[in-house]
Amino acid sequence: MGRFDAAFAGRLASHHYRIRTVLALALACPLAVGLLIIPSSAQGSPVVGPRHSAALQPHHAPATDVPWSTVKWAGYSVELPRTFARRSPTNCETDSGSFVIVGTYTALRGCTGLDARNGVTVLLGQGGPAYPPVPDVFGGDISVHGVQVQELIGTDAVPGRVATPTSSFLLALLPGMGIWAYMAAPGSVPANALKEPFDILATLRRSAGSPPAVPAPVSISSFVGSWSAHDASLKITSASNGELSTRGGCLCVDYDTLAFSLLSDHLDAVVTKVRAIGAGGHPMPDPHPDEIVGQRLFFEFVEPHLLMQVTVPNEPRDWSVSFGNPPYWCGAGLAARFGFACGL
């Protein structure tokens, strides 16, 4: 999907929907936007500490009896099975089978909405954020040959909406803004479908010209301010307080009060209050009764003046309904070429 169109606008707005159990209310009011929320469990949210952590299955090194080849980009390299074809971004929306594409932010603009046709698709990007839609549920922080990597995981399996779930997705964010590996694989269960992508990621190494192996700390002043996305706004007023508001077709504005804490290179957040204001400024019942106070998420920079919102799953390894929801927020001073990420 290389153009911002109505379909993309709908997917962009969906990031700011409160995702419901089976999405019943979202389907009843498809334009109602709000914070991405994953159904909670009785155990509550996992503890979030300096650099987030999560329990993941071990990543295995590739089998030694399979020929692999080296692919380099942006100061990094990975090993891929030789069965993977090398493609250009020109026809990436129609390419099938297992293949890899290396490209810049500009070149990869048309390579979105991957559906892993009969194989594993690998995009190795640089010079800007991954184009939406992207997975946005936190999978974990791992160290691969000394390189700190953040994993975002998702699936396009939506109960009741997708007759045959098709693909799972892994977005690996590397140190240094605008450097990432994005992989799609057939299968609706990420733990199973992403075995080969995890194997590929396990071969990651730094090469000449690579950025520092660990992200640099970010000051709170970089986060404070107003941020925009399609029909939504985020106000970060201090190191500890903020509010996310969204407007849509349900004739109300939803407000989520957020409490923040700065943790090195990202801003950790928890939802402390939710409310809805209807016509005439009158309070109204929250149109999303299963809203979760206590939901954790965090914000991090993927470009100067461009934040990515990441949801911390309430249930371990719950990556459902986490693809197709572009989680970007645009701030003042953002380079015009990146405004597409927020639907602006």
Q: What's the domain count of the chain?
A: 2
Task: Tell me how far CA of residue 267 lies from CA of 158, 220, 235, in angstroms.
Answer: 29, 8, 13
Do 189 and 270 share a structural domain?
A: no
The pLDDT of 269-277, averaged and rounded, is 90
Q: Is residue 53 in a domain?
A: no
pTM: 0.79
Question: Of 166, 181, 206, which residue constitutes the final position of a domain?
Answer: 206
Same domain for 193 and 220, yes or no, is: no
Domain boundaries, position 307 = 6-48+216-342
For 63, which DSSP code? P
What phi and psi values does residue 141 have, to the nearest 5 degrees? -105, 130
- Are residues 134 and 12 in contact, defined by beta-carbon separation less than 8 angstroms? no
What is the reported pLDDT for 177? Answer: 85
Distance from C-alpha of 298 to C-alpha of 222, rounded to nearest angstrom: 14
Q: Tell whether 140 is covered by a domain.
A: yes
Q: What pLDDT shows up at residue 211?
A: 84
Shared domain for 116 and 41, answered yes or no, is no
In this predicted model, what pLDDT tens digit does every residue of 5-57 receive, in sequence order?
Answer: 333 333 333 333 333 222 222 223 333 333 433 333 333 333 333 455 444 44
Same domain for 195 and 244, yes or no, is no
Percentage, residues of the chain above pLDDT 70: 70
76 and 194: one domain?
yes
